[in-house]
Amino acid sequence: MNAEFWLEKWARNEIGFHAQHPHKGLVEHFSTICAQPGGHVFVPLCGKTLDIQWLLNKGFRVTGVELSLLAVEQLFAELGVHPVISPVSAKVVMFEGGGLKVFVADIFSVSAAMLGSVDIVYDRAALVALPQDIRVRYAKHLMAITRCATQFLICVEYDQCRLSGPPFAVMAQDIADYYAPYYEITSIEREPVERGIKGREPGYEHIWLLCPLNDRAEK
């Protein structure tokens, strides 16, 4: 799986992964356990998720990163925002407007300097979108560019042998492997996925809160 896989999904409008409403876990838990309104939320691999509009409406500042230019154009159009578009580097273009910034780029091309200070990472669709061989690199990069900011992380759990991803199964042990040396990991909610993963495989959706163990500057 590579960048072309996701770009082709958007080009063909094969975006069944795009939910038609803000995530229930975000609505129920985010404001009570995470950064106060006005905080800076980073949304990796954001697509055109309606979660962004919810966060903006709650008073958060939001920065996303998304590989597909088409997805970003649709995101701003659906928000009714005419963005200012500017190059950041040879591999990164930034769309900005209405309290939202989105970098059109491979996430591995985004740096800490580009992001600035991040209060919390909202990872609903990034970790589960990546195969196992890329997830370790992603987790390390995410911690580096956000300086180990707190994470509100949503994963799915199921028997990966019975169904191919994405979304990929990310189990509790995986979370520990990637993040335990740097974060206190708390399970917030674990519920069965209604109608199953991809409508056929039983599984669970698991919401985690990751709080940094030490001062971020030491990471």
Say if CB 47 and CB 75 are below 8 A apart: yes
First-to-last C-alpha distance (Å) of the chain: 30
Say if CB 118 and CB 143 are below 8 A apart: no
In this structure, the number of other CB atoms found within 10 A of the CB of residue 42 comes to 25
218 assigned binding-site residue: no
Measure the CA–CA gap between 203 and 198, rounded to whole angstroms: 10
66 assigned binding-site residue: yes
Measure the CA–CA gap between 4 and 31, rounded to whole angstroms: 35
Backbone region of residue 50 per phi and psi (left: phi > 0; alpha: psi in -120 to 50; beta: other values) = alpha
Measure the CA–CA gap between 29 and 84, rounded to whole angstroms: 32
Q: Name the DSSP class of 83.
A: -
Looking at residue 41, its amino acid is V
Looking at residue 177, its amino acid is D
142 assigned binding-site residue: no
Binding site, annotated residues: 10, 45, 66, 124
Binding site, annotated residues for S-adenosyl-L-methionine: 10, 45, 66, 124
